[in-house]
C-alpha cells in the first residue's frame, strides 16, 4: 500500500501545496516584471503612513463595481507597490488565499467576507463561505457575481493573470507579500487599516508582538536546535533560508540545516545524513501523521538519520505553513517541543536552593 508522501499537509491542503510549488517554480518572475521589489517592514510601515486616512480622503465620488452611485474611494499602495482604488467602506470582500481568510477572521471582519477559495479551511466557519474555486485558477464569473468591493490576493500564491483579469473586470485587488514573521505581523496590521478596521489591526499586531517578545525572553539565551523541516518526502523538499517558515523556526529556537536561497529546495538525502539534524519538523493537518512517521522510520534511506532512529520528530500545527497571524501559535508550540526546559516551572524548593530541573526531553511526536 502506498503511503502519503507529504507529511503536514494532507488531502486538499496537500494538493494546494503541490500547485503552489508548481506556480513558484514555473512563474516566479511574472510578478517581479510588473511589481516593485518585495516589501520589508519599513516599506509596509511607509505605505501605512502614506495611506493613513486624512481629511482629503473624501475621495472621488464615482460608480463603483457594485453599482453604488456616489461611492467614495480611497487610493492605497499595496505590498507589491501597486496603487489601488478601494471603495470605502469595503463591505464586500473576497479572499483568494487561506492566509488572507485567516487574517480577516483574526481582525474580526468575517461578516464582510462574501467569498473565499476551496482551500480556505480555517477557522472551520470559513468553509461555509461561498467558494470561488482554487487559489490559482479561481472562477472570475463567480467572483464578479459576488460584487466584491475588493479582492485580496497574495503574491506568492495567486497568479498575475488573475490580477490582470480582475483589473479588466474593474474589480480592485489588494496584494500582500509578507516574507518573514515581522512582515506577517505588519501585513495584518496594514490590512486592518486598508479595510477600515485600523484599531483591530493595531490590537492584533500588538498582541502578536507581545507573544513573540515573551517567547524570546524564555528561549533567547538557549542554543538553537538544528532541524530539518520536511515539506515533502519523495522527493525530499525542505525550505530555503529566506522563507517565512525558516524565520518561524528561528523564532522557535531552531535553525534549519538547509542553507539554500531557493524557497523550496529539493534536498539530497546524503547531504542530510552528513548534516545529521537533531530533530525533524513536520506540520500536521491529519490525524494519521504520527502513523506515517512510524512508516517513515522503517525506510532504510531515512534510518541513516539519528533523529529518525531516535524518533526525534516535532509535529506542529499546520499554521506554520501559512503567513497569517496563527503562525505565532505554531512558533510557540514548536519552541515548547524543542526547549521544554524553558517552559517547566521550578518548584519553590528548587528556586530557593538554586538547583535546576534536569532530564527534560523533547516532547516531539510522543
Whether 351 maps to a domain, the answer reads no
Distance CA 127, CA 252 (A): 30
Q: Are residues 122 and 232 in the same domain?
A: no
Q: Which of 210, 234, 266 is the last residue of a domain?
A: 210
Lookup: cell for 210: 507581545
Q: Are residues 313 and 175 in the same domain?
A: no
Question: Is residue 225 pLDDT above 80, yes or no?
Answer: yes
pLDDT digits (tens, 9 = 90+) for 182-197: 999 999 999 999 999 9
Q: Are residues 83 and 98 in the same domain?
A: yes
How many domains does the chain contain in total?
Answer: 2
- Nearest of 195, 170, 194 to residue 63 by alpha carbon: 170
Distance CA 72, CA 64 (A): 8
Q: Are residues 8 and 42 in the same domain?
A: no
CA–chain centroid gap for 327, Å, is: 6
Confidence band of 14 (pLDDT split at 50, 70, 90): low
Question: Is residue 252 pLDDT above 50, yes or no?
Answer: yes
- pTM (predicted TM-score): 0.80
Question: Is residue 354 pLDDT above 50, yes or no?
Answer: no
Question: Is residue 118 pLDDT above 90, yes or no?
Answer: yes
Q: Are residues 242 and 120 in the same domain?
A: no
Instruction: Note the pLDDT of residue 348.
Output: 57
Whether 91 maps to a domain, the answer reads yes
Q: Are residues 312 and 247 in the same domain?
A: yes
Whether 159 maps to a domain, the answer reads yes
Whether 329 maps to a domain, the answer reads yes
Q: Are residues 156 and 87 in the same domain?
A: yes
pLDDT digits (tens, 9 = 90+) for 156-166: 899 999 999 99
Instruction: Note the pLDDT of residue 20.
Output: 52
Pairing of the two strands 113-115 and 225-229:
unpaired
From its phi and psi, is residue 359 left (phi > 0), alpha (psi between -120 and 50) or beta? left
Instruction: Note the pLDDT of residue 156.
Output: 86
Q: Are residues 19 and 64 in the same domain?
A: no
Mean pLDDT of 350-365: 41
Whether 216 maps to a domain, the answer reads no
Q: Are residues 278 and 227 in the same domain?
A: yes
Question: Is residue 62 pLDDT above 60, yes or no?
Answer: no
Q: Which of 210, 243, 263 is the last residue of a domain?
A: 210
Residues 6+ positions from 9 with CB-CB distance below 8 Å = 16, 17, 283, 285, 318, 321
Whether 244 maps to a domain, the answer reads yes
The answer to whether residues 279 and 362 touch, using CB atoms and an 8 Å cutoff, is: yes
Lookup: cell for 195: 479595510
Percentage of residues in the chain having pLDDT higher than 70: 73
Q: What is the CATH number of the domain that holds 184?
A: 3.40.50.1980
Whether 217 maps to a domain, the answer reads no
Give SS3 for 310: coil
Whether 215 maps to a domain, the answer reads no
Q: How far is CA 57 from CA 89, 146, 189, in A?
A: 12, 26, 20
Instruction: Note the pLDDT of residue 172.
Output: 97
What range defines the domain where residue 107 resides? 38-48+55-210
Per-range mean pLDDT, top range of 36-40, 331-335, 357-361: 331-335
Instruction: Note the pLDDT of residue 67.
Output: 44
Q: Are residues 229 and 105 in the same domain?
A: no
Confidence band of 31 (pLDDT split at 50, 70, 90): low
Q: Which has more confidence, 359 or 280?
A: 280
Distance CA 42, CA 61 (A): 32
Confidence band of 58 (pLDDT split at 50, 70, 90): very low
Q: Are residues 60 and 206 in the same domain?
A: yes
Question: Is residue 11 pLDDT above 90, yes or no?
Answer: no
Q: Which of 157, 175, 210 is the last residue of a domain?
A: 210
The answer to whether residues 192 and 51 touch, using CB atoms and an 8 Å cutoff, is: no
Q: Are residues 131 and 194 in the same domain?
A: yes
Amino acid at each position: 500500500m502506498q503511503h502519503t508522501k507529504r507529511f503536514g499537509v494532507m488531502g486538499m491542503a496537500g494538493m494546494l501545496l503541490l500547485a503552489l510549488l508548481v506556480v513558484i517554480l514555473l512563474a516566479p518572475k511574472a510578478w517581479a516584471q510588473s511589481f516593485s521589489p518585495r516589501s520589508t517592514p519599513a516599506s509596509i510601515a511607509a505605505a501605512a503612513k502614506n495611506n493613513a486616512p486624512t481629511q482629503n480622503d473624501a475621495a472621488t465620488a464615482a460608480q463603483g463595481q457594485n453599482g453604488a452611485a456616489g461611492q467614495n474611494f480611497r487610493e492605497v499602495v499595496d505590498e507589491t507597490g501597486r496603487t489601488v482604488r478601494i471603495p470605502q467602506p469595503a463591505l464586500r470582500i473576497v479572499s483568494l488565499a487561506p492566509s488572507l481568510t485567516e487574517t480577516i477572521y483574526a481582525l474580526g471582519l468575517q461578516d464582510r467576507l462574501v467569498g473565499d477559495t476551496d482551500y480556505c479551511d480555517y477557522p472551520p466557519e470559513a468553509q461555509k463561505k461561498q467558494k470561488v474555486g482554487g487559489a490559482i485558477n479561481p472562477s472570475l464569473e463567480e467572483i464578479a457575481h459576488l460584487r466584491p468591493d475588493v479582492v485580496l490576493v497574495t503574491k506568492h500564491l495567486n497568479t498575475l493573470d488573475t490580477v490582470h483579469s480582475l483589473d479588466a473586470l474593474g474589480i480592485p485587488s489588494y496584494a500582500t507579500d509578507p516574507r518573514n514573521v515581522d512582515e506577517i505581523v505588519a501585513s495584518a496590521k496594514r490590512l486592518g487599516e486598508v479595510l477600515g478596521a485600523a484599531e483591530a489591526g493595531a490590537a492584533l499586531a500588538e498582541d502578536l508582538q507581545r507573544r513573540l517578545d515573551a517567547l524570546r525572553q524564555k528561549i533567547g539565551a538557549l542554543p538553537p536546535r538544528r532541524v530539518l523541516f520536511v515539506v515533502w518526502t519523495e522527493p525530499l523538499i525542505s525550505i530555503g533560508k529566506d522563507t517565512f517558515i525558516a524565520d518561524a523556526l528561528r523564532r522557535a529556537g531552531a535553525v534549519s540545516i538547509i542553507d539554500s536561497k531557493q524557497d523550496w529546495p529539493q534536498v539530497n538525502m546524503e547531504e542530510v545524513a552528513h548534516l545529521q539534524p537533531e530533530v525533524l519538523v513536520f506540520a500536521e493537518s491529519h490525524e494519521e501523521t504520527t502513523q506515517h512517521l512510524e512508516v517513515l522510520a522503517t525506510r532504510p534511506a531515512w534510518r541513516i538519520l539519528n533523529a529518525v532512529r531516535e524518533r526525534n520528530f516535532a509535529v506542529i500545527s499546520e499554521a506554520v505553513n501559512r503567513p497569517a497571524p496563527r503562525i505565532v501559535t505554531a512558533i510557540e508550540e514548536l519552541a515548547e517541543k524543542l526547549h521544554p526546559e524553558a517552559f517547566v516551572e521550578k518548584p519553590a524548593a528548587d528556586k530557593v536552593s538554586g538547583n535546576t530541573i534536569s532530564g527534560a526531553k523533547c516532547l516531539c511526536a510522543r
